[in-house]
Structure 1
Amino acid sequence: MTRTMYCLTAKDFAVLEAMLMRRRAFADASVPMLERKLAESSIVPVGMIEPDVATLNSRVIFRVDNGPVETRTLVLGDASAPVGSSLPVGTWRGLCLLGMRTGQSALIKRPDGSGESILLEDVAYQPEAARRAARNVAAGRRPHGLRLVHSATRPLGGAGKIRQTEGDDPGPSAA
């Protein structure tokens, strides 16, 4: 990896530290990459991470070496995910993408000398941003960028009526 700054949540940083300790015990080839990732990362509280940063369980859209666009969910392990939908952070690509911002690219250098460039095109879903949006909705605040323009059932501000009339009971088969 090149000198790229990453942004990790405190939780993601702790996950990578634990992964580093386990992999050091087995002299894993990814240890230098993990050490660089942790050294080059700034740590932010989970609730303060920007929505364009790839975190654990984020759905990311990326490109490898100007190849086709790929969409995956960054996961800790791949035990129950459908084939091709997830990308474990224990892999070279998953580890590289974790903590990157939309539009950021990095070069992965493997121990065998091979390398590839990864560009994070978009963070389609980030769990931390989704939690913030849900809290805002629960608190009565409108989600950022969304606005009710028209109601299909009644005019805005109007009182609606129930449309069912007498004798319009569909019976038990409708249940």
Structure 2
Amino acid sequence: MNGIIYRLTTKDLAVLETMLMRRRAFADALVPIIERKLAESSVVPVGTVEPDIATLNSRVIFRVGDGQAETRTLMWGDTSAPVGSGLPVGTWRGLCLLGIRAGQSVLAERPDGSGQRILLEDVAYQPEAARRAARAAGQRRHGLRLVYSAAADHWPLGEAGKIRQTEGDDPGPSAA
């Protein structure tokens, strides 16, 4: 990582700090890279991050060295995405991409000291920007809508509200 001021949301910062605490306990080789990332970052509130910044759960298009462009989703762990579609921030590539702006490149240092240049070509989807756009369009936070609400004394199809079994009607455990 080199001379770039990374922009982390408060959520991204919390994830990196948690990752740092856990990895320090095991003397993980990524600890110095996480520490440097935190030291070189400015923190912004979740709702104000620019839409071209790679945040957690963003779908990013990036290129490693002279290789082909790859599209992945930056994520906390690697268990919630189909194989090949996610890029955990616990990997050196994911960690390097987190917090940079589309068009920026960074030297991704591996724990062994070698490195490769990674270019963030585009942020195809950023959840914070999508949330702002939905709010601006007047959409609700969730897609659920109440379609029917009956009064407590009203039962569908005219049935009376009563419990079927009363005392003495218990068929016992053999009925289960």
Q: Which band: TM-score by shorter chain?
A: 0.7 to 0.9
Q: Which amino acid aligns with 2:71?
A: T
Instruction: Tell me the residue number matched to 1:11.
Output: 11
1:84 aligns with 2:84: yes
Give the alignment of 1:1-175 within 5 angstroms: 1-138=1-138
CA distance in 1, matches of 2:39, 2:12: 14
Instruction: Tell me the residue number matched to 1:142.
Output: none
- Structure 1 unaligned residues grouped into runs of 5+: 140-175
Q: Which amino acid aligns with 2:33?
A: M
CA distance in 2, matches of 1:27, 1:3: 26
| TM-score computed with the length of structure 2 as normaliser | 0.77
Using the TM superposition, give the Cα deviation of residue 13 of structure 1 relative to its aligned residue in structure 2, in angstroms.
Answer: 0.4
Using the TM superposition, give the Cα deviation of residue 128 of structure 1 relative to its aligned residue in structure 2, in angstroms.
Answer: 0.2
Q: Deviations along 1:110-144, whole A, 9 cap, x unmatched? A: 232321100000000000000000001117xxxxx
Q: Which amino acid aligns with 1:9?
A: T
Instruction: Name the Cα RMSD after superposition.
Output: 0.9
Using the TM superposition, give the Cα deviation of residue 74 of structure 1 relative to its aligned residue in structure 2, in angstroms.
Answer: 0.2
Spell out structure 1 runs of 4+ moving beyond 4 A. none
Q: What SS does the aligned partner of 1:2 have?
A: coil
CA distance in 2, matches of 1:11, 1:112: 29
CA distance in 2, matches of 1:113, 1:95: 15
Identity %, equivalent residues: 76
Using the TM superposition, give the Cα deviation of residue 4 of structure 1 relative to its aligned residue in structure 2, in angstroms.
Answer: 1.5
Q: What SS does the aligned partner of 2:137 have?
A: helix
Using the TM superposition, give the Cα deviation of residue 80 of structure 1 relative to its aligned residue in structure 2, in angstroms.
Answer: 2.5
Q: Deviations along 1:77-135, whole A, 9 cap, x unmatched? A: 01121111000000000000000000011002223232110000000000000000000
Q: What SS does the aligned partner of 1:83 have?
A: coil
Instruction: Tell me the residue number matched to 1:156.
Output: none
CA distance in 2, matches of 1:92, 1:111: 8
Q: Which amino acid aligns with 2:28?
A: D
- Structure 2 unaligned residues grouped into runs of 5+: 140-176
| TM-score computed with the length of structure 1 as normaliser | 0.77
Using the TM superposition, give the Cα deviation of residue 45 of structure 1 relative to its aligned residue in structure 2, in angstroms.
Answer: 0.3
Using the TM superposition, give the Cα deviation of residue 66 of structure 1 relative to its aligned residue in structure 2, in angstroms.
Answer: 1.7
Q: What SS does the aligned partner of 1:121 have?
A: strand
Aligned pair count?
139
